[in-house]
Structures are given as structure tokens and as C-alpha cells.
Structure 1
Amino acid sequence: MKQGRNLTRQQKIYIASFRFNPNNWLISKKEADRWLIIHRETGRSRTIPAP
């Protein structure tokens, strides 16, 4: 699995709009239509639509 990257300020605002705590998530993969985010502690991954 690729390592996740820290979020930018705009990405934190966008992820918070999905009711996720942005302090707990890293971005692993950014595609044109979706983002793969990974939880910092548990390693659980979620997919959210790209803005």
C-alpha cells in the first residue's frame, strides 16, 4: 500500500464536509473522479468523490 500524504487546508475543508475528522485521515490516491483516503490509526480506507 502506498503511504498517505498530509492534507492541504482546502482538502481538510472538503473532507470535513463528509463529516470525517480531517486530523485522522490521509490521502492515498487522487483520481479524476474519486479520492482514496486512509485512516491514520486503523488503516481503514474510504473512497469519496473528488470535488
Structure 2
Amino acid sequence: MKHGKKPTRRQKELIQDKKLNPNNWLVVKDSQEVFEIVHKLSGKLRSYSKH
């Protein structure tokens, strides 16, 4: 399982835009191309394109 960090306010807004609860997700990668988050309990990884 990848380890993530607590999301910033801007990242929380991005997670909420995806209809997810930001309290349950940690940020793994936030680059110009990709936004990756991992679920705190299940370890499920989601990846979204920023384009």
C-alpha cells in the first residue's frame, strides 16, 4: 500500500469535486499531469488526469 499525506484545502476541493469524502483519502501524487489519492482504510488507489 502506498503511503500518502493529508490533503491541502485545494486538494480537498478536488477530491470533493469527484464526489468523494476528503476525510477518507490521502494524497500520493499531485503533479501537473496526474492527481493520485489512496483510501485510508482499504488502500484503493485512484488516479485522475488534470487535463
Q: Same fold (TM over 0.5)?
A: yes
Q: Moved runs in structure 1, 4+ residues, more than 2 A?
A: none
Query: Alignment RMSD, CA only?
Result: 1.6
2:22 paired residue number:
22
Identity of aligned residues (%): 37
Give unpaired runs (5+ residues) of structure 1: none
Give unpaired runs (5+ residues) of structure 2: none
1:40 paired residue number:
40
Report the Cα distance in structure 2 between the residues aligned to 1:32 and 1:10, rounded to whole angstroms: 14
Report the Cα distance in structure 2 between the residues aligned to 1:29 and 1:10, rounded to whole angstroms: 14
TM-score (norm 2): 0.83
Cα deviation for residue 9 of structure 1 reads 1.1
